[in-house]
Amino acid sequence: MEFKHKHISRAKNHMSQSVKFDNVNTLFSKALKQKINHYFIHSAKQKTGNRRIYLKASILLTSFILLYILLVFVPLHWSVAILLCAIFGANLAAIGFNIMHDAGHNSFSDNKRLNTVLSYSLNLLGGNIYFWKLKHNIAHHTYTNIDGEDHDIEVKFMRIHHDQKLKKHHRYQRFYFPLLYGISYLAWIFYQDYEKYFRGRMGNDTERFHFPVRERIIFWVSKLIHFTLFVVVPVIFVGWLPTLLGLLIAGVVCGMSLATVFQLAHVVSGTEFKTIEASRVDEEWMIHQIQSTANFATKSKVLTWLLGGLNFQVEHHLFPKISHVHYPALNRIVKQTCKEYKLQYNEFKTFWAAFRSHIGVIHSMSR
């Protein structure tokens, strides 16, 4: 455990630390943290997950096993197989949202060893948790929506930030973005991870990161296990064509789910994409998170359950080490504090309202 955290910290030190936030005038941050701490003390609740998240994890992992068995080992009519492949893809995304994501932030449980084990569920699904922590926990959560620092807004063939160079093909991005979102998961696990591995960088222009031998071994072993489970075994039992079609269907559903949830949280009207001058952000870090992040459909219990609370993205970015089961309660506190400090709180009432806003931003960035 300590070995792993030490290497993550070392890798963080090798990443860009040039952008600084206002660490002097932090009145908002102090007030909000005080209120959140008071909530947990008064309610006698732990900041990590509870029985609800354990039950949800059990349901999602059991669903994964059952769907895999049905699709690989049970003869099915093609129409049923297609439907189950789509559900399987949604299940993969839900495991990422609910289990891996909280565990990757050490908020799933107060047991750090359990968090580490469950965070490796990403490796089972084809990704790499070590890369994810560098890209997501460090770069994205620290420098949200800052071009060159937040690698999550570096989407190939798309222009999301006004500081990104406008190219001719961007004028059509509002038409082809569904295709890119759909293939994003498959591109991630079958290409981009290997690109990072051999390049030794998160982005084209970033510094090289430290990659310990232990993690290199885990990378190749987990990639081999994933390829065996998702390609070799299905090919043996159902053949090449059904395997490729099934993987494509599940991958597209998973990719569309993952990409859309991220984009609706940051690439919508109201969120800021700052141009950084003199490597300094004028606001304190928490205010920057408020300005660059948005919520959507927070009243939908079904969506909140499926997305692991990531429709409460503002609360997640402010308090990533607090489990998503607490976000609805934190939402009220954060909103009230923003109102007191006259800060705009970005939230869309429905998923579709946020989605329409996202398309509008994509269109505006294409000109």
Q: Where are the domains of the chain?
A: 45-365
Residue 208 DSSP one-character state: B
- Helical axes 240-266 vs 351-364, angle rounded to 10°: 80
Amino acid at 335: K
When computed from its CA atoms, the radius of gyration of the chain, rounded to whole angstroms, is 20
Task: Report which residue type is found at 63.
Answer: S
Q: What is the mean pLDDT of the chain?
A: 91
Give one word for 106, left, alpha or beta, with left for phi > 0 and alpha for psi -120 to 50.
left
Concatenated DSSP letters of 65-80: HHHHHHHHHS---HHH
Token reading at 82: 């297609």
Q: How far apart are CA 278 and CA 20, in angstroms?
A: 9
The answer to which of 147-156, 188-197, 262-271 has the lowest mean pLDDT is 147-156
Half-sphere exposure of 113 (CA within 13 A, CB side): 0
pLDDT at position 5 is 41
**Please, where are the H alpha helices in the chain?**
2-14, 27-43, 51-73, 78-95, 101-104, 112-119, 121-124, 129-132, 141-142, 173-187, 193-199, 213-227, 233-238, 240-266, 285-292, 301-306, 313-318, 327-340, 351-364
Global pTM reads 0.89
CA 326 from chain centre, in angstroms, equals 18
Token pair in block for residue 112: 């750090």
Q: Measured between alpha carbons, how far is 144 from 133 in angstroms, rounded to an integer? A: 14
How far is Cα of residue 277 from the mean position of the Cα atoms in its chain? 27
Angstrom distance (rounded) from CA 250 to CA 90:
7
- β-partners of residue 348 are 296
Contact 268, 348 (CB under 8 A): yes
Residue 278 structure tokens: 């003199």
Q: Is 20 helix (H, G, I), strand (E, B) or coil?
A: strand
Place 280 in a pLDDT band, splitting at 50, 70 and 90. Answer: confident
Can you tell me the distance from the alpha carbon of 271 to that of 293, in angstroms, rounded to the nearest whole number? 6
pLDDT at residue 204, as a whole number = 65
Lowest mean pLDDT among 6-20, 84-98, 304-318: 6-20
Summarize the confidence of residues 147-170 as an average pLDDT. 90
Whether 105 contacts 112, CB under 8 Å: no
State mean pLDDT over 353-362: 96
Q: Hunting for tokens 């660490």 — which residue is that?
A: 23
Which pLDDT does position 216 carry in this prediction? Answer: 94
Nearest alpha carbon to residue 273 among 158, 362, 163: 163
Is 208 within 8 Å of 274 (Cβ atoms)? no
Terminal CA-CA length for the chain:
48
Which of 127, 121, 234 has its CA nearest to residue 190?
127
Cα–Cα distance for residue pair 330/39, rounded to 1 Å: 8
Across 77-86, average pLDDT: 97
Q: Evaluate whether 21 touches 282 at the Cβ level (below 8 Å).
A: no
pLDDT in tens, 294-345: 999 999 999 999 999 999 999 999 999 999 999 999 999 999 999 999 999 9
Local confidence band at 17 (pLDDT 50, 70, 90 cut-offs): low
Q: List Cα–Cα distances, 159 to 148, 166, 169, 288, in angstroms.
A: 13, 7, 10, 21
pLDDT tens digits, one per residue of 234-247: 999 999 999 999 99
At 205, is the pLDDT very low, low, confident or very high (cuts 50, 70, 90)?
Answer: low
Assess whether pLDDT exceeds 60 at residue 365: yes
